[in-house]
Amino acid sequence: MPKPSPRQQWFRFFDLPENPALATQSSPQSSPKISPPAPSGRDAQLEKIARDLLIMLGFEKGAEKIAVRWMPRMRSTAGYAKYPNWDVELNPRLREFPGEVDRTLRHELAHLVAHARAGRRRISPHGPEWRQACIDLGIPNEGARHTLPLPSRKLKRNFTYTCPSCGVEVERVRRFGRRTACLACCRRHNRGRYDGRFEFALKAARKL
């Protein structure tokens, strides 16, 4: 079976400045606080930080491509990293929590670094390659998921897939968009590279 083409991967992770009340002539005590609009689009300052970190680790080509964007549509997610595009998206609410912008930026960069180092070899999103990248980026004790008080979102998992070799089951919100195989079996029998013998098969699909 032919190897799949390089795939784009998204990795999910996860201070607003204080604004003094604007006093009015009629009601100085009850004046509302006006919050500035959430940032959106690319952030040149964060991109410079990301470029410097990538260059420090020897990823000059990644540093040339890196783009860091604020995404106001994010709710429960703190950030995304997209490889091989070298894109990072951040939740504007991170600015409400001191230190979280920098930490989340490094968390997402670690995903990009881990996959760049792995090449075509399949790796777990938060496996040893990612953990090593976190150490190299200065966040050695980073966790896989954020603990910020962001709005939670529960999604119904409508599709269940199973590995024809080991029988492990994977529940998904959406169908796999491309051929996807069991990572554990690919590691055990094919050095972590995609192997069609272990491609997930749809076991059950709930009615939508």
Structural contact between residues 101 and 45, judged by C-beta atoms closer than 8 angstroms = no
Express each pLDDT in 37-65 by its tens digit: 678 899 999 999 999 999 999 999 999 99
Q: Any residues with CB less than 8 A from the CB of 189 and at least 6 apart, and which?
A: 195, 197, 198
Q: Report the alpha-carbon distance of residue 172 to residue 159 in Å, rounded.
A: 5
Whether this prediction's pTM lies above 0.85 is answered by no
Secondary structure E strands in the chain: 9-13, 41-42, 67-70, 79-83, 87-90, 159-162, 169-172, 201-205
Structural contact between residues 40 and 71, judged by C-beta atoms closer than 8 angstroms = yes
Check pLDDT > 90 for residue 3. no
pLDDT band at 21 (very low <50, low <70, confident <90, very high): very low
Q: Quick one: pLDDT at residue 116?
A: 97
Tokens 């989340």 found at: 104
With vertex at residue 41, the alpha carbon angle to CA 37 and CA 42, rounded to the nearest 5 degrees, is 125
Helix count and strand count (H, E) for the chain? 5, 8
**Residue 55 neighbours by CB distance under 10 Å:** 13
Express each pLDDT in 59-93 by its tens digit: 999 999 999 999 999 888 889 999 999 999 999 99
CA distance to 68, 101, 116, 135, per residue, from 97 (Å): 19, 8, 30, 22
Structural contact between residues 90 and 59, judged by C-beta atoms closer than 8 angstroms = no
Q: Quick one: pLDDT at residue 27?
A: 35
Domains identified in the chain and CATH numbers: 9-16+37-136 (3.30.2010.10), 159-205 (no CATH)
